[in-house]
Amino acid sequence: MEFDYIVVGSGSGGSSVAGRLAEDGGSRVLVLEAGGSDRRLPVLMPAATYLYAIGNPRFDWRLTSAPDPSRGGRTDYMPRGKVLGGSSSINGMLYVRGQPEDFDDWAANGCAGWDFESVRPYFRRAEDNENGADADHGVGGPLGVQNLRTSHPLSEAFLRAGVEAGLEATPDLNRPPQGGIGYVQATQRGGWRCSSARAYLWRKRPNLTVLTQAQVRRVLFEGRRAIGVEFERQGRLVVARAGKGVVLAAGAFGSPQILMLSGVGPQAHLREQGIEVVHDLPGVGENFHDHPGTSHIVWVDQPTYNVQHTLFHAMLYGALWLFAGRGPGTTPDAHVLAFTRSRPELARCDLQYHFTPVGYDLTDTGPILFDKPAVTALNNIHRPHSRGHVRLASRDPSAAPAIQPNLLGDARDLDTLIAGAKRLRAIFEAPPMARHVLGEFKPGKEVQSDDEWAAYVRETSIGIYHPAGTCKMGSDPMAVVDEGLKVRGLSNLYVADASIMPVIVSGNLNANCIMIGERCADFLKAA
């Protein structure tokens, strides 16, 4: 099999880089996806994802972390998309860009050309925003972006409570400067999920080959030049060759794992696993971080979506979604977002809240739904200081990687989460929301003192499914890719996903990873 480009992974970065490379018709592009088709109800209907996709081996890698010493040895369930579209096919669909300062900081710390003014055109190019085009948003791009299709009375109550608690009502949270509280924008078209695969890969092109159920085992090299990949499909080992470039877009866990299986990574670790070293690159798998978060859950006096699972509701909401593109079936995983500061003297927001009229909890074994009316809000840190790592658990490509989150390894993150949890409780205690609250399930009214808050955070905090940083971009000795996303010390090999983020962005990852893929395509075309 001979191609110009091979893209490993069809998630947010992989789909966008492949779609752009193929659009001129002159390049032969192969996309390899370990999972199956995304044209299934649990993917297409937003509300079905949490019920039928997450935790389902048909759509989810179902990863689990190692015991985390920073949280008393707790383990985390880590869903990642194993389906065409990757995690963009099972995520919450929230369209959230990072803060401009995120990208300016990248540029100031060894990532030349990644300042906000340089990346903003790529956000706009990808976007087809129903609100129209302007300096911040684009239309005509492949990625559908829409406003919340159908709200809920308690979502409006939370928004008004946030304003009474001191947050500014913000109609568009993707316009700089990021801050305040407002309704979400979501990656949807007509209420249907618009995954990166739907945006970039669904259009048939004669020069674009997309293979599902194809698990990449390793990158192949001649000397230090990547020449192709070896993958397994339908019980057979297959070799595909790339004349111009191999792009790893397998995510913050998959990309470092494939690099290490290919002999690229920390030399001592590779030798421990019996892998021949192609290139000693110590930063591979390091710098792992996620957005640490806690939940605030209250019982309420109105029906919420988690209890509306009768046959009648399923038929009603399914019909509204299918024929009108509205209703609870279109719901992303949050209705309202808020951005705020843990300390008033901070120059920019360092906390984010996700509110949804669904009573659920993110537990060590995955999300669960409650059987009585409740609402949930997540409190998470934007730019954590703690760092973990990803290693090989085995040289077997089918084995899951060994993931150490070290989620609260830096005490500053514990303090920030506590401050965020306290402020979130204050929003729930503001009159527009408080009048609907029947009781506080989490953290529980018994949590009052600083010691009680610290214990609560250690016992319940998790990463909120936003892994990043494990093949970081930069110029320091621990950087894995350069500012052109090429793996340092090698040729013809690139990475284009959340793993390249030197510091995680201040918001959900999908939109930012699509931007990374868009940029990578331009780098490859110019090479």
Residues labelled catalytic: 466
Q: Where are the beta strands (DSSP E) in 187-332?
A: 188-189, 192-193, 208-211, 214-222, 225-233, 236-248, 264-265, 279-280, 292-300
In this structure, are residues 281 and 317 in contact, taking their beta carbons and an 8 Å threshold? Answer: no
CB atoms within 10 A of CB 50: 22
CB contact set of 311 (below 8 Å; sequence gap of 6+): none
Q: Binding site annotation covers 216?
A: yes
Q: How far apart are CA 378 and CA 362, in angstroms?
A: 9
Q: How far apart are CA 423 and CA 255, in angstroms?
A: 37
CB atoms within 10 A of CB 207: 16
245, β-bridge pairs: 5
In this structure, are residues 219 and 229 in contact, taking their beta carbons and an 8 Å threshold? Answer: yes
Q: What is the DSSP string of 150-194?
A: S--HHHHHHHHHHHHTTPPB-S-TTSSSP-EEEE-EESEETTEE-
Amino acid at 284: V
In this structure, are residues 497 and 248 in contact, taking their beta carbons and an 8 Å threshold? Answer: yes
Query: 88: which DSSP letter?
Result: G
Annotated binding site for FAD: 83, 216
